[in-house]
Amino acid sequence: MDFQIALLLVQDGLVNGAVYGLMAVALVLVFSVTRVIFIPQGELVAFGALSMAAMQAGRIPPTLWLLVALAVLVLVVEAWRWKRGATVDWTSALVWCVALPVLACVLVLGWRPASLWAQAANTLVIITPLGPLLYRLAFRPLADATVLMLLIVSVALHGVLTGLGLLFFGAEGSRTPAFSDARFEVGGLQVSGQALVVVGTTLVLVVLLFLFFGRSMVGKALRATAMNRVGARLMGIPTELSGDVSFALSALIAAVSGLLIAPLTTVYYDTGFLIGLKGFVAAIVGGLGSYPMALAGALLVGQLEAFSSFWASAFKEVLVFTLIIPVLWWRSLKSHHVEDEE
């Protein structure tokens, strides 16, 4: 391996690590607030990429009908809960179940823009509400369940969404045009504009999330819920609404990740699962509780994958997922007690 090849692998690892970093941050966010290991995060990545490809081909993305169906179903469930005497926050329910789905239908069915950036914005509007709708339908009724039970539900939801992805988009893969066709030469190394878009978008999102959690009242409420759910509820923070917001942010990050990777590789209905697993490995490296450590773990996963593809391409996935074993072994040695379930 010469120096130029090493630089190329570092570049590939940095681009892939940026995407895995977004996935890891989203997984840490959802887990810290709701105790859900959101395995279907990867399916939302694939839905984002394939929805964008469908609009590029002049078709209505099937995820729009999934959004409408979930919105109607959640409204029915909320009405049933209200009829049985449960307290229902109708303001947030109408936002997720009526306002955003109607906006998505108007933008996709009535506007149909030809601009790449406008189509990307439409994709975000379609995919983002899927997060809180899935939370309200599958996870919020089990808010007091054990982490294992929530994980089982998450795996089941992953299977359902994977099947829907195959039904909606078929087995054929799709790609979208790059957001930037520019090319630069730095020290003899070719750098594509799309790679800079991926890294730049990741940096911008990380900075915005840092400001959101540090400066905004909603972000501080999410941090309080993550630290102590019962204490946050006693202080008047609506923890159920915190779950909505965390899943919405997770879905938004997944949609952005899908838009970023679609010009770089062919995306299939099940492509997101592997990307989500690598983001999960990065989150585990960070302890499922630290955003900076999750980002560092993602960069490590990206570099390991890039260099493994050069030295042992047939085993690159094995080497990446094997990384989780020494990390868990080391953390088990440092753990002196087992926390009780709440």
Q: What is the mean pLDDT of residues 42-56?
A: 93
CA dist 129 and 251 (Å) reads 7
Tokens 């993305």 -> residue: 61
Phi, psi of 121 (to 5 degrees): -65, -40
pTM for the model stands at: 0.90
Domain boundaries, the chain: 26-268
CA dist 323 and 309 (Å) reads 15
CA dist 26 and 65 (Å) reads 25
**Residue 323 in tokens:** 């990384």
Reported as a single tens digit per residue, the pLDDT across 260-309 is: 999 988 999 989 888 988 998 888 887 777 788 888 888 888 888 888 88
Counting other chains too, the contacts that 155-163 makes at CB distance below 8 Å and 24 or more residues apart are 155/39, 157/39, 157/40, 158/39, 158/40, 158/42, 158/43, 158/273, 161/40, 161/43, 161/44, 161/47, 162/43, 162/269, 162/270, 162/273
- DSSP letter assigned to residue 174: B
Reported as a single tens digit per residue, the pLDDT across 130-157 is: 999 999 999 988 878 888 999 999 999 9
Reported as a single tens digit per residue, the pLDDT across 312-329 is: 777 788 888 888 888 888
